[in-house]
Amino acid sequence: MVIELITYIVRFLLIILIQLLVVNNIELSTYVNPYMYILFILTLPISMKPWVVVLISFFTGMVMDTFSSTPGLHMAATGFMGYIRGFYLQFSCSKEDFAGRIEPSISKKGIVWFIVYMTILTLLHHVFLFYLEIYSFKEFFRTLWRILSSTFFTVLIITLGQLLFYRNAKT
């Protein structure tokens, strides 16, 4: 239990650091702003109580807000995603998944399930985040395009990361 907690803390710090120091510095275009830090929320165990996930989501968002001078923005978006995650898992996972401490990953649930899961929740997060950042529907289509391309890159980074690092650790 303690080891598990330490693993999560280390993973949390690593993901936040990668987001801040590497991914935030990708300056491809103003239309590509991947936020892969949501990976931490998405790979929490399936059986984890929803209210714990919601709390952790808000905390993660708060940490991101602190480092990007956008108070409340990431907190609202990530919290929303963490809340929706519970419903999505209930709808798409079997009873056995909830019994053990299985984490949603490619090796456990298969690549198709994983990518669909990632895309839907990342899209929800990004839609919430980007429209809240603009605070109006004035630039509706431009923002939509920004959301779609950012979602694509977020899912790409997360999936590649999973294929590179998680597979060895889990087998």
Partner 1 sequence: MRNLIFFFYKYYTFILFFFLELFSFVVLYQYNNYQKASFLNFTGGISSSFYESINSTTNYFGLRNINDSLLAENASLRSQMMNAYYQSGTTQTSINDTVYKQQYSYISANVVNNSVTKRNNYITIDKGAMHGIEPDMGVISSNGVVGIVTSVSLHFATIRSALNGNTKISCMLKKNNAFGSLEWNGDDPKFSSLKYVNKHVPITSNDEVVTSNYSTLFPEGIPVGQVYSHSLDAGDNFHVIKVNLYTDFSTLKNVYVIKNIFKDEQQTLEGNLKGGN
Size of the site for partner 1 (CB under 8 A): 38
**Which stretch, 40-48, 99-107, 116-124, 134-142, contacts partner 1 (CB under 8 A)?**
134-142
* Start-to-end Cα distance in the chain: 20
* 3-class secondary-structure state, position 26: coil
Residues 6+ away with beta carbon under 8 Å from 106 = 114, 159, 162, 163, 166, 167
Q: What is the DSSP string of 47-91?
A: TS-HHHHHHHHHHHHHHHHHHHT-TTHHHHHHHHHHHHHHHHHHH
Residues 114, 120 contacting (CB under 8 angstroms)? no
Question: Binding to partner 1 by residue 4, rule CB under 8 A?
Answer: no
Question: Binding to partner 1 by residue 21, rule CB under 8 A?
Answer: yes
**Which stretch, 20-28, 39-47, 97-105, 111-119, contacts partner 1 (CB under 8 A)?**
20-28
* For partner 1, the closer CB: 30 or 171: 30
Scan residues 57-116 and list those touching partner 1 (CB under 8 A): 58, 61, 66-73, 75-76, 79-80, 83, 86
Q: Applying CB under 8 A, which residues contact partner 1?
A: 21, 24, 26-30, 32-33, 50-51, 54-55, 58, 61, 66-73, 75-76, 79-80, 83, 86, 130, 132-135, 139, 142-143, 146
